[in-house]
């Protein structure tokens, strides 16, 4: 009875843990981006004269921004397909949270021990992104439609990189169970595969998270707020909350698949957090060093990177599978 009880307790605990770490990851991303650009960004310690008004810290600023939206009025456009428009943010959030349940956290395998957990987690992440497209399309806004179209085009190429990266490791390790991958031994060839497949995964994450130069779906200077133009209040807050869980899920999946055994034991928790921050550091560096691409340039860039890394990953994965 211990394992089922532990699993149930873990599934309950991982949601607030994912929310907290996702908020911390966003804080780190925003703070580091600001410092790279010689700005202050959200403050860890507030100025003494402002503490009575603003509190002692802005560490949870990403969460404050979301909670503020939940307190504002929600407007549903008359021309929208209301049921799909309203339900899409909640469905997107639901699938992102479900994906979290299949990604191990140090000391908590959760549902990552389930058969085909890698496939399940991948489909849930895809479904979450799908409803960030369907909702805006249902809004009836031309700006949202343009942003959604860009989202679809970016999604197709970034998703291909995501699938090729994680499943090349699955082929090499001959398993589709995330937990078995995350606690597997590292050999020289598997470490080499983790480098090439991990680079491909980072490229895919940039598209999924709209990291510059791949933030064209939300290009405020061109198309207002892109897919989210007509969203407001708690619906917009729900989409932003989805991004928090999505960030946590992608970082957690990266560590589980490409950096074993950091997600296999509670003893690895300090290194797990360090690895997560290093991943965010790389994404932040890309964000601040690049301008926004046009969608055509983004697709061309992805296809060039995919063509090279996909071939390398495939050769290494098949070699490990057949020879080793």
**Residue 287: pLDDT above 80?**
yes
Please compute the mean of the pLDDT values over residues 267-290 and round it to a whole number. 92
Q: Which of 58-62, 102-106, 139-143 has the highest mean pLDDT?
A: 102-106
Nearest residue to 4 (alpha-carbon basis) of 110, 86, 117: 110
Tokens in use for 203? 């490229």
Please compute the mean of the pLDDT values over residues 244-263 and round it to a whole number. 95
**Residue 118: pLDDT above 80?**
yes
- Alpha-carbon distance of 257 to 194, in angstroms, equals 8
List of residues 6+ apart from 159 with CB closer than 8 A = 126, 204, 207, 208
Global pTM reads: 0.91
Please compute the mean of the pLDDT values over residues 167-191 and round it to a whole number. 88
Q: Which of 153-157, 260-264, 294-298 has the highest mean pLDDT?
A: 260-264
What is the structure's pLDDT at 43?
82
Q: Share the mean pLDDT of the chain.
A: 87
């Amino acid at each position: 009875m211990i394992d089922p009880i532990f699993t149930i307790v873990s599934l309950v605990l991982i949601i607030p843990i994912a929310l907290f770490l996702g908020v911390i990851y966003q804080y780190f991303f925003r703070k580091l981006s600001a410092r790279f650009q010689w700005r202050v960004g959200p403050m860890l310690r507030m100025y003494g004269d402002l503490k009575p008004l603003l509190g002692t810290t802005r560490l949870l600023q990403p969460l404050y921004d979301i909670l503020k939206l939940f307190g504002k009025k929600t407007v549903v456009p008359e021309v929208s397909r209301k049921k799909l428009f309203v339900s899409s943010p909640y469905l997107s959030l639901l699938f992102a949270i479900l994906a979290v349940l299949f990604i191990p956290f140090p000391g908590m395998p959760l549902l990552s021990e389930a058969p085909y957990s890698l496939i399940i987690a991948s489909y849930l992440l895809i479904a979450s992104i799908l409803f960030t497209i369907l909702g805006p399309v249902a809004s009836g806004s031309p700006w949202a439609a343009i942003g959604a179209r860009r989202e679809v085009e970016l999604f197709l190429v970034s998703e291909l990189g995501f699938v090729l990266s994680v499943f090349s490791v699955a082929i090499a390790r001959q398993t589709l169970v995330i937990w078995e991958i995350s606690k597997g031994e590292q050999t020289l060839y598997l470490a080499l595969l983790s480098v090439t497949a991990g680079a491909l995964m980072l490229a895919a994450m940039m598209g999924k998270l709209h990291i510059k130069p791949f933030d064209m779906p939300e290009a405020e200077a061109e198309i207002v707020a892109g897919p989210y133009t007509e969203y407001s209040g708690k619906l917009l807050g729900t989409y932003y909350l989805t991004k928090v869980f999505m960030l946590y899920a992608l970082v957690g999946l990266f560590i589980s698949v490409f950096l074993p055994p950091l997600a296999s034991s509670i003893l690895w928790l300090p290194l797990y957090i360090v690895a997560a921050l290093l991943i965010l550091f790389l994404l932040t560096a890309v964000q601040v060093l690049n301008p926004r691409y046009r969608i055509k340039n983004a697709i061309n860039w992805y296809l060039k990177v995919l063509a090279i890394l996909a071939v390398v990953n495939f050769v290494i994965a098949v070699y490990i599978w057949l020879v080793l």
